[in-house]
Every structure is written in structure tokens, then in C-alpha cells.
A = this chain, B = another copy of it.
Amino acid sequence: MKEELQRFEQFLHTKGLRMTPQRRIIAETLFATHHHIDAETLCDMVRGRNRSVSRATVYRTLSLLVESKLLDGRDYGHGYKQYEHVIGHEHHDHLICSVCGKVLEFTNESVERLQQEILDEHGYAPETYSLVIHGVCPDCRTDAPAGGAASSSAH
């Protein structure tokens, strides 16, 4: 997270912007959280540390972090964006339950390769690519109660 902060500071510097206390608190809070987090929750956490940080600044800083490519924000279908930082996290993909909305991260080498192939095939640069699969998780399934591979890591 030290690295992320430094990169952020560098990014700001490059753009002639400053690392302010507010921006630092927001970035620190974000980089210390290893889950998906939404702006509102982040806001609460940040304001728990320093009451004088406004919602507007949180949103503004989130934009900067996304722009700096240190953060990735996406709406997984809940009606608001969820953010996660990129560095220090192995690239992973998302499996989202259509019923309960739960977001499961997973890694799969074949997918990595395939994504690259597809991007190449269409002439796309792989910048910030990601993969999202929607399905119904074992807990929410009412049909065949999962084949057997499910029981192991099924939360």
C-alpha cells in the first residue's frame, strides 16, 4: 500500500495536483480495504477517521484514483459502483449471483489466456480488462443442489 500511495502521489504530481490530507486518508482507507467497497461505505469509513472530509471530496478522489489506474470501479448490478484497487491483487475475475448479488472472485489461467486472445483478435488493447460472469450461486440454487465441486469452498 506504500507503493500505491507513492504511485498516487506521483500521478498527482504529474498532473500538477497535490497530495492533500483528505486525499491521503481516502487513498489509505481504500488501499487498506481488500474487498469491493462502494463510495458511501468508504465515505463512512473515512469520516470515522476525519469528520471533516466531505462526500464530494471522496467522489472526486475516487475519480482521480480511477484515472490513475490504481483503482477500478464498476457497477456489478447493484445500482452503484464498487471499487477495488488493482496493485498487489492478482488479476481475478468475478462471479456474481443473479439472486443474492454476492460477488465471488476467482482466478482462472485459461480465462486469462482466452481474454488476451479475444482482445488481440479484435485489435483491442488489454487495458483494464475484466470478466464478469453471472450465475446462480450454490446457496441460491433451488434446482440441482450443486454437483459436488461446490461444497468445498462454498462459504
Chain A: residues with CB nearer than 8 A to chain B? 74-75, 77, 95, 97-98, 104, 106, 108, 110-111, 114-115, 117-138, 141, 143-144, 146-151, 153-154
Contact = CB atoms under 8 A, between A and B. Distances in A.
Contacts of A133: 115, 118-119, 124, 129-131
A149 B127 CA distance: 18
> Among A119, A121, A122, which residue has the most Cβ atoms of chain B within 10 A?
A122
A130 B134 contact: yes
Q: Is the interface of A mostly helix, strand, loop or mixed?
A: loop
A123 B75 contact: no
Contacts of A77: 74-75
Contacts of A136: 124-125, 127
Nearest to A150: B123
Contacts of A141: 123-125
B106 A120 contact: no
A129 B130 CA distance: 15
Contact of A95 (B75, B110, B118, B147): B118
22 contacts: A95-B124, A106-B118, A110-B117, A115-B133, A118-B133, A119-B133, A119-B135, A120-B149, A122-B137, A122-B138, A122-B149, A122-B150, A123-B141, A123-B147, A123-B150, A123-B154, A124-B136, A124-B141, A125-B141, A127-B134, A129-B134, A130-B133
